[in-house]
Structure 1
C-alpha cells in the first residue's frame, strides 16, 4: 500500500465515523511523513513547527484511529494495522459486461487526474466523454480497477441496451444491501445506500439514453428519471462516486461541473504517437516509425480506428503498409458505421455545418460561418448547434477556427459525395464543389452531374 492509498483509506474511515469530517491539513502531512518513516523531529523541522506540537498532532491521530480500528495504533505499527484492516474490508465487485483491459495503452495523465478526483477531491459525479472508439470504456474499467480498494462496492454497468432506471436500480440494490433480491427500485432507497456505503458506480454508454437532435444532452422520453438520479448524486452529500462515459454530456452536467466542484469531466483525446504506434505493432503491422506515425495522425490516435486499419493492412494489403498508404485515405466499414451512428444523431443544421467544415477544410471562424455560410440562421441557433457538436467531440477548435479531425473530414467528404452521386445537392454546390473536390483529391467527374436544389440541406 502506498502512502497515497493509505491516507485515502484513513480519510475514508474517519469521514464515515465523524459525519464527513476527515483528516485536516496538518494531520495529513504528519501521517504521510510518518508513513515515509520520518521522525517527529524531522517532520517538525521540515514544517517549521515545534516538536511537541507535531508529536501532539500525531498522538491524537493515533488515538482516534485506535478507537476506529479496535486495536492500538502508533506510528510504528500503522502500516501493519492498515494492511490488516484493508484485508478485512475487501470490496465487493460486480463488473457486469466490463471489457478485459489487461492490455492497456498508457493514459497515465488521464488516469492520474481521475484518481485524484475520485480519491482526493471526493467528486460525486465524473464524466469521461469523447468520440466513439476513443477508449472511454477501457479507461473507465482501468480506473475502477485501480481505485477499487478504496471502496466497499464497485459496480460497473453498460447502458448500451438503455435499461429503464427502475430495472437498473432493482439489479444493483441487492448488491449494496447484500440481500438476495429487492422489489424496491426507488431513487430514495438507492441514494440511502450511496450515503451509508462507499460505492463506486460506473455507467458506460450514457448516450444510449439521450436523444439525438440539435440540443445535445436531452434525455429520451421515458428516461427522464436518470436525470433526477444523476442530479441528486451530484447535489446531495454522500460518500460514493458515479462515473459515466459517453459521446456527449447529459443534461444537467455542464451547469454543475467546475474545477472546484464535486462534478468534473474529462474529454478523452486520441493516443499519443508512440502509444498509437504500439497498437499497430501489437496487431502485427511491421513498418518504419514514420509510416506508423502517418496512420496514427490520420486517425487522430483513435484506438478502434487504428485496430481496424491494422486489420485492413494485414488482410487486404498482405501486411504491406506502403501499399496501404499509396491508395490514399479512406474510412473503413466498421469505422464508417461508428461515425454514421453519431452523424445520424445530428440535426439538419448540425449536419450542414459538418458538410461546410469538410468543404472548407482549412478551418473557419464562427463569425465567418455565420456571415458567409449560414446567413439565414440566427446567432442563437448557430451557437447552440456548434456547442452541441463540440460536446459530441465532432468539431475541434484551434486559433479560433473550427476544424474536423482528418478521419471525420474524410467520412463527411465521402458522405457528401454520395449525396451528389444521388443528385441531392444545391445551386451553391455547383459553384463551390469543383474547388472542394480538387482540394480533397476526388476524381469524381463533376461535369457529368446534374445539380438540383435540395431544401433539406438549406444551403
Structure 2
C-alpha cells in the first residue's frame, strides 16, 4: 500500500524528531509507568454519573472499536445535552482495566494543545518533560503504553459564525495532531466529544485510516421520565417525542413543550455558533410543522444554490436538522428548535 504524501511528510518529521528524543527521559517515564500496577488514571474533571439510561448498543460499539479494533481516533457526536459525555464516562468506568493510562481533558478549560500535552506528560512524570518535541514524546508514549485520552467540548476549537468544522487559527495545530494520531503506528486511542463534525472526524477509508464516528441519537428509554417523576405512563412517550429524547431538556419540563430559561440558554449558545446563512435556513425551516424540500427552501430564501447546500450540510454537521429520505430529500427541525425560534422571534419584536 502506498502512503499518501501527507503521511510521508508526517512520518519523516516524526522519525526525525524521534531521533532527538532523549532515551534517558523516555526510560525514566516508562519505568515509572511499569511500576504502577493499576495504571494511571486522571479523571479529575470527568463528570460524575447520576443516571445512565439505555445506551447498551453504543457502549458495545465503543468497546468493539477501542478494545477489539484498537481504533486510534474516535469521535462521539451529537446535539448539546444528548448524553455524549455521559456515554464516554460510562465506557471509561466499565473499562479501566483495558488501558495503562486514561486522561480526561476539556477544551473549555485548556484549549491550547501545547498546554494539554504538557499537562498529560507532567501528570505522568513531571521530571520527564522536554521543552521541544512534545508531540514526539506523546506519540512515543502512545506506542509504548496503551493510552486513552478524552478531549471533551472539541467544538470550542472551531470558529463561531462560520460553517461547521473550521478551526480557529490559533488551534490549527490540532489538525496536525489528529492526523499524526491516525497515520502513526501506536496502540493508543483518542476520543473527541463534540457538537459539530470536522473533516478529521470522517473516515474516507476505514481500511487505511483507523477513524470511527459515533453519532448519538435520541434516547427512547421512558425510565428517564419516571426518574424525574413526570406524568403518567401514557404521556411519557409523547414528551420524549416532543423533546427528541434529549436528557438535558427532559429533566427541565413538565406536561408540554416549554422553552425554559435553562433550555433557552443552552440553545442561545448553539445559535450563536451558526453562520448567518445557517440562521436564515433554520428560521425558515421553523415556519413549517412538516418537512420541506431543498427546492421549497430555495424558492423562499434569497440564497444561492451553493450557499443553501453548504448551509444545510453545516446544519447537519451540527445535528440541528433532520433529513428525511422519501421520493425526494426533505428537511425539518425538532419541535424544541421550532418553539425556541418562535419564542426568540416574538421577544425581539
* TM-score, normalised relative to structure 1: 0.64
From 225, 231, 243, the equivalent of 2:179 is: 231
Deviations 1:262-286 (A, max 9, x none): 10111111111xx2x322222233x
Q: Which residue pairs with 1:305 in the alignment?
A: 249
Is contact 2:72–2:210 with CA below 8 Å preserved after alignment? yes
Deviations 1:181-237 (A, max 9, x none): 635362222122111111011111101111123321111131111111111112211
Q: Which SS does the other structure have where 1:242 is aligned?
A: strand
Alignment of 1:173-188 (within 5 A): 173-176=121-124, 178-180=125-127, 182-184=129-131, 186-188=134-136
From 386, 391, 403, the equivalent of 2:317 is: 391
Q: Establish whether residue 296 from structure 1 lines up as the match of residue 225 from structure 2.
A: no
Q: Which SS does the other structure have where 1:212 is aligned?
A: coil
Q: Which SS does the other structure have where 2:118 is aligned?
A: helix
Measured in 2, the distance between the counterparts of 1:257 and 1:102 equals 38
From 87, 90, 108, the equivalent of 1:160 is: 108
Q: Which SS does the other structure have where 2:251 is aligned?
A: helix
Measured in 2, the distance between the counterparts of 1:296 and 1:223 equals 38
Measured in 2, the distance between the counterparts of 1:225 and 1:334 equals 34
Q: Which SS does the other structure have where 1:360 is aligned?
A: coil
Is contact 1:214–1:388 with CA below 8 Å preserved after alignment? no
Measured in 2, the distance between the counterparts of 1:112 and 1:406 equals 30
Q: Establish whether residue 381 from structure 1 lines up as the match of residue 325 from structure 2.
A: no
Is contact 2:162–2:275 with CA below 8 Å preserved after alignment? yes
Alignment of 1:163-312 (within 5 A): 163-176=111-124, 178-180=125-127, 182-184=129-131, 186-254=134-202, 256=204, 258=206, 261-272=209-220, 275=221, 277-285=222-230, 287-309=231-253
Residue 88 (structure 1) shift: 8.1
Residue 179 (structure 1) shift: 4.1
Residue 100 (structure 1) shift: 1.1
Q: Which residue pairs with 1:120 in the alignment?
A: 68
Q: Which residue pairs with 2:21 in the alignment?
A: none
Q: Structure 2 vs 1, CA of residues 270 and 194 (structure 1 numbering), >3 Å: closer, same or farther? A: same
Q: Structure 2 vs 1, CA of residues 331 and 148 (structure 1 numbering), >3 Å: closer, same or farther? A: same
Alignment of 1:16-35 (within 5 A): none
Q: Which residue pairs with 1:413 in the alignment?
A: 342
Alignment of 1:295-334 (within 5 A): 295-309=239-253, 313=254, 324-325=255-256, 329-334=257-262
Measured in 2, the distance between the counterparts of 1:102 and 1:340 equals 26
- Equivalent residue pairs, number: 311
Q: Structure 2 vs 1, CA of residues 256 and 304 (structure 1 numbering), >3 Å: closer, same or farther? A: same
Is contact 1:170–1:183 with CA below 8 Å preserved after alignment? no
Structure showing greater Rg: 1
From 287, 294, 300, the equivalent of 1:359 is: 287
Deviations 1:403-439 (A, max 9, x none): 11111111122222234x1xxxxxxxxxxxxxxxxxx
4+ residue stretches of structure 1 with deviation over 6 A? none
Q: Structure 2 vs 1, CA of residues 258 and 401 (structure 1 numbering), >3 Å: closer, same or farther? A: farther
Q: Which SS does the other structure have where 1:222 is aligned?
A: helix
Q: Which has the higher contact order (CA 8 A, sep 6+)?
A: 2
Is contact 2:154–2:194 with CA below 8 Å preserved after alignment? yes
* TM-score, normalised relative to structure 2: 0.83
Q: Which residue pairs with 2:48 in the alignment?
A: 100
From 87, 96, 115, the equivalent of 1:148 is: 96
Measured in 1, the distance between the counterparts of 2:110 and 2:157 equals 6
| Unaligned stretches of 5+ residues in structure 2 | 1-34
Q: Structure 2 vs 1, CA of residues 201 and 88 (structure 1 numbering), >3 Å: closer, same or farther? A: closer
| Unaligned stretches of 5+ residues in structure 1 | 1-86, 314-323, 422-459
Q: Which SS does the other structure have where 2:170 is aligned?
A: coil
Larger helix percent: 1
Residue 248 (structure 1) shift: 0.5
Measured in 2, the distance between the counterparts of 1:162 and 1:347 equals 25
Residue 373 (structure 1) shift: 1.8
